[in-house]
Amino acid sequence: MWILSGIQQRIDAVFINLQKPSLEQKATFFRLLAVSQKAGLGIRASIHSLQQWETHKGMLMILEDMILQLTEGSSLADAMQFHPHFFNPDEIELIRATEITGNMAQTLEDVADSLEENQEINQKIKKALTYPTIVIVFAIVAVVVILVFVMPTIIEMYGDIELPAITQFMLNTSDFLQAYGIYLWLAIFWLVMLYNFAYSNLLSFKIVIDAFLLKVPLVKEVIRIFYMSRFTSLLAQFYGAGVSPIVSFKLLASIFDNFSYKRKMIEIRNSINAGFSIYESMEGSDLFDPILIQIINVGENTGSLTEVLKKISIYYTFSLKAAIDSLMSIIEPALMALVSCVVGALLGAIYLPMADMVNVIGA
């Protein structure tokens, strides 16, 4: 039953995401709402003005419902809470805290800045992955076409001569793809689906995968910088909006996907609840740079933790972009080398028997 329930949840999530506005539209929503607040408009009037020019169906539904909720007396945070598929828990809690402490325009602007940075990083990752993805897809298609359609035809030309080992291997691979190719693709598809399901629903599997990723050379550094960037940026926003430390780290635990970082946020929250400082709770952890831990110590001692976190988050944002570029500068030539090896093996499998025939004829 739990398997069927998990499948149904995924189907529901797909339908919701089909109408879900993009990250860019969310950033624009918060940016324009901040501008409206600075201009002196009320929350309801600001959202109503946004509704007038919005064309995205999903965004229109969200705005219309928020206007209805605000008309009935709900706060902005409560109105946002009705749309958890669009507004994240941290965004809702930031707004809820700001409604108590004030300075709504600045909080909305900070959220918009954070979302725009996330969007820029996402676009950078997508752009970096586009070229390798295209190369891999075309390489797979080309290899399959050569093995299934070209290889058998060429091998027939060689008659009954003894084939080199590499040619025989490619011929056996060709026979396998022709006989079981459809089953191979189905198996790959179901393995991908099974992996996604296991990662989302089996905690033990997720723990193993997340721990493994933090040990992979190059990849682990990108992951560490990403989470340190998110940690400093979000914590600065929470503290700036007046969110309590306990709630802040509870939200961070719910936001972070990697289990190691999620567990660390829970540990820090429990330590703070027991009377320890953030520095004392983070000291000795290999999930964060020692310099970051020391900077947090200074910020706590001087009472300037929010400002310190904002400044260090800018550094980690730039470091993350540089780490992504560095990773892709290694992946691209490695991928080209792999494709070259495969193409070379195919050419060798085709032309080695031909060279043997020429030698026999010459003899």
- Mean pLDDT (the chain) is 84
**What CATH class does 105-363 carry?**
mainly alpha
Size (the chain), residues: 363
How far is it, in rounded angstroms, from Cα 151 to Cα 165?
14
Q: Is the dihedral of CA 312, 316, 319, 321 positive or negative?
A: negative
What's the number of CA atoms in the CB half-sphere (13 Å) around residue 207? Answer: 5
- Produce one character per residue of 225-258: b if its CB has 16 or more CB atoms within 10 Å, e if not: bbbbbbbbbbbbbbbbbebebeebbbbbbebbeb
**pLDDT at residue 11 is higher than 50:** no
Q: Which two tokens stand for residue 218?
A: 């190059």
Q: pLDDT by residue (tens digit) across 307-327?
A: 999 899 999 988 988 888 888
The more confidently predicted of residues 11 and 186 is 186
The more confidently predicted of residues 360 and 131 is 131
**Comparing 44-48, 60-64, 223-227, 340-344, which segment has the lowest mean pLDDT?**
340-344
Q: Which two tokens stand for residue 172?
A: 């056996």
- Confidence tier at 17 by pLDDT (50, 70, 90): low
How far is it, in rounded angstroms, from Cα 32 to Cα 115?
13
Q: Which two tokens stand for residue 101?
A: 């402490």
Local structure of residue 56 (DSSP, 8 states): -
How far is it, in rounded angstroms, from Cα 335 to Cα 348?
20
Q: pLDDT by residue (tens digit) across 207-241?
A: 999 999 999 888 889 899 999 998 998 899 888 88
* CB distance 117 to 317 below 8 Å: yes
How far is it, in rounded angstroms, from Cα 79 to Cα 99?
13
Angstrom distances, CA of residue 9 to CA of 14, 58, 207: 9, 19, 22
* CB distance 249 to 268 below 8 Å: yes
The model's pTM:
0.78
What value does the mean pLDDT take over residues 294-310? 91
For the chain, the C-alpha Rg in angstroms (whole number) is: 28
CA 192, chain centre distance (Å): 17
What value does the mean pLDDT take over residues 41-45? 87
**pLDDT at residue 106 is higher than 60:** yes
Q: What is the pLDDT of residue 362?
A: 56
Q: pLDDT by residue (tens digit) across 244-287?
A: 889 889 889 988 989 999 999 999 999 999 999 999 999 888 89
Q: What are phi and psi of 330, to 5 degrees?
A: -90, -40
| pLDDT > 90 fraction of the chain, expressed in percent and rounded | 27
- In this structure, which amino acid lies at residue 32? L
Q: What is the pLDDT of residue 274?
A: 93
- Confidence tier at 18 by pLDDT (50, 70, 90): low
- Confidence tier at 360 by pLDDT (50, 70, 90): low
Q: pLDDT by residue (tens digit) across 149-171?
A: 877 777 777 666 777 888 888 88
* CB distance 119 to 23 below 8 Å: yes
Domains of the chain: which residue ranges?
20-87, 105-363
How far is it, in rounded angstroms, from Cα 232 to Cα 191?
36
Q: Which two tokens stand for residue 284?
A: 């000795």
Q: pLDDT by residue (tens digit) across 179-194?
A: 888 898 899 999 999 9
